[in-house]
Structure 1
Amino acid sequence: MPFQEKLRHSPPPIEVAGRRVKRYHVTADPAGIEPGVEKAAYEILPRLLPEPDGTPPATFVVLHRGGDSGAYLNAYSWVWDNVLHCRVAVAGQPALGCPDRDPTHFLLLDRPLIGCVWELPPLLHERDAWVRHLLAPEHTTDAPGPTGLDAYIADILPDGTTGDHRS
């Protein structure tokens, strides 16, 4: 089967365990990710988050519903001021150690994987948004609106396909 981009949806940010979380959902299904899979993924999310270290408490997640039985939640959290901490949970994928094919049965992934080709596009946008709003805000325009962490959280990659990843 030839490679095809998937759909990317950006639900509103949420707060989890004191962190502000930007969300990206990836699936080939135009109906989106099933509510049960979404609910199960966000229930395990607190276990994927690092302890506070003084860095503004921000995370972005990519919830990916695979074309088979798999579901994946990648949590990328900003730590040490300018470093991404990555932790992943997986469900329904026996090849990654899941005991069954249930896409709502998430467990922590114990392999050093950071994401597949459909999960990685938000990384470039999020890197640039972090620099723009938190590391070098003096280089942004003087337009009115939020600044710092609020501006970063508001700067979301719009809905599109996984091939559309320009800020």
Structure 2
Amino acid sequence: MSKHPENLSRILERDLGVSPEYRHGPKRVTFGEILETSGSVLKWYAVYREDQPVPDAISALARAYLTKTRLDDSGLGFVILHRCGSDFYFLIVCTWRGSNEIWETVFYKDGDAMADFALFPREKTHKPTFCVWELAPVWHEKKAWVRFLESARDEEAGQLWLADRYAGAA
């Protein structure tokens, strides 16, 4: 039997990265209308608690924001609009680049204090990427992209990829 890593006990006791007050709960994933921006075709996902869906006004604001915001890289991809709590939202834009990589841009809106979405500041070296709920549509999109890569990558394959969307538990 192998010995446990020396740091395991210390991390579990003092530096787990999870607040003692945190209680994990289920969320849902739904898909929305495809979003076309200049140079991008993006599948649309919303992530939220069952009793707190993303308001239509926030979805419309997010879609309008992405329509007028120029991304560094365009192409095929997906968007995750994640309602975190009562009025904080992440707007995560992912495009497929470098043959098999997800490139990500993260925007946010923090309640009524912000009139619109803005680029999420990420100044540290070690940065958050996806939370456990966001990984549900990400995992689906990973599998959908592999199917596309293994296809003829023509118009028919593109349409199949576009129709391949996820809805369900996060």
TM tier relative to shorter chain: 0.7 to 0.9
* Structure-to-structure mapping, 1:121-140, within 5 angstroms: 121-133=136-148, 135-137=149-151
Tell me what 1:96 maps to: none
* Structure-to-structure mapping, 1:17-166, within 5 angstroms: 17-30=38-51, 32-46=53-67, 47=69, 49-52=71-74, 57-92=75-110, 101-102=112-113, 105-111=116-122, 112-133=127-148, 135-137=149-151, 147-157=156-166, 159-162=167-170
- Gaps of at least 5 residues in structure 1 are 93-99, 139-145, 163-167
* Bigger proportion of residues as strand: 2
- Tell me how many residue pairs correspond in the alignment: 142
Separation (CA, whole Å) in 2 of partners of 1:155 and 1:48: 26
Residue deviations 1:56-109, cap 9 Å, x none? x211011011113211101110112221110000111xxxxxxx6546531101
TM-score by length of 2: 0.73
Separation (CA, whole Å) in 2 of partners of 1:28 and 1:102: 22
1:105 maps to amino acid: D
TM-score by length of 1: 0.74
- Name the SS for the 1:15 alignment partner: strand
Q: Computing the radius of gyration over CA atoms, which structure comes out larger, 1 or 2?
A: 2
Seq. identity, %: 27
Q: How well do the aligned residues superpose, as a CA RMSD in angstroms?
A: 2.3
Pair 1:63–1:105, CA change in 2 (3 A): same
Q: Which runs of 4+ in 1 moved over 6 A?
A: none
- Gaps of at least 5 residues in structure 2 are 1-21
